Chain A
Amino acid sequence: SAVISQKPSRDICQRGTSLTIQCQVDSQVTMMFWYRQQPGQSLTLIATANQGSEATYESGFVIDKFPISRPNLTFSTLTVSNMSPEDSSIYLCSVEPAEGNTIYFGEGSWLTVV
């Protein structure tokens, strides 16, 4: 299994500011993903965080708005830039360890933009 720590767990942010969410895993993992879950909705993939290179973004998500870093196999960050109330959401880090078929989620970061 993998234990994932996400920070911050919750935050209230001012419109126009940016916030960086951190995801730390207790073991090296092959894949790391970032999802968004808007109120009452299911999970939507933002991007795949690639170790040592630029993230791979899904349609509708761009690097300028959601810059992602992954400097090593255990850590990644997601920044939500120039926030608006529409960015109020849960942001979830997800990992796939090399050895198994289970995909794990961090505890989530609950962001409210006012």
Chain B
Amino acid sequence: GQNIDQPTEMTATEGAIVQINCTYQTSGFNGLFWYQQHAGEAPTFLSYNVLDGLEEKGRFSSFLSRSKGYSYLLLKELQMKDSASYLCAVKPPKAGTALIFGKGTTLSVSS
């Protein structure tokens, strides 16, 4: 079966650091994506991890541990505009198959 778990909601304050976790149990794995989705907008690509370790991209970093079926998205120096839903998605191993999405984490950043 396919199962991707994320916390439903998180809150944080401006300037802080927040870590959004994602655990997955899928029949096969070919990479993990993180997307950001603001209310009323389509998802936008943040990161892609296929090997273990940390990928840093500006204020956002993403980590993957394939042996643990675990990833996290780390957001530093939070800004109000980071208030959004963050979607974790797994890419199945078979070529040409679509991403499997978690239910998303709604992050609220307050001043």
- A interface residues (Cβ-Cβ under 8 A, vs B): 30-31, 33, 35, 41-45, 48, 90, 92, 94, 96, 101-108, 110
Contacts and interface: CB of A to CB of B under 8 A. Distances in A.
Given A30-B96, A108-B41, A103 B33 contact: yes
B80 to A, nearest CB: 22
Contacts of B98: 31, 33, 35, 45, 48, 94
Q: Is the interface of B mostly helix, strand, loop or mixed?
A: loop
B48 interface: yes
A24 B32 CA distance: 26
B45 A43 contact: no
B42 A101 contact: no
Nearest to B99: A103
A41 B103 contact: yes
Contacts of A48: 96-98
A44 B98 CA distance: 10
A101 B31 contact: yes
A22 B43 CA distance: 18
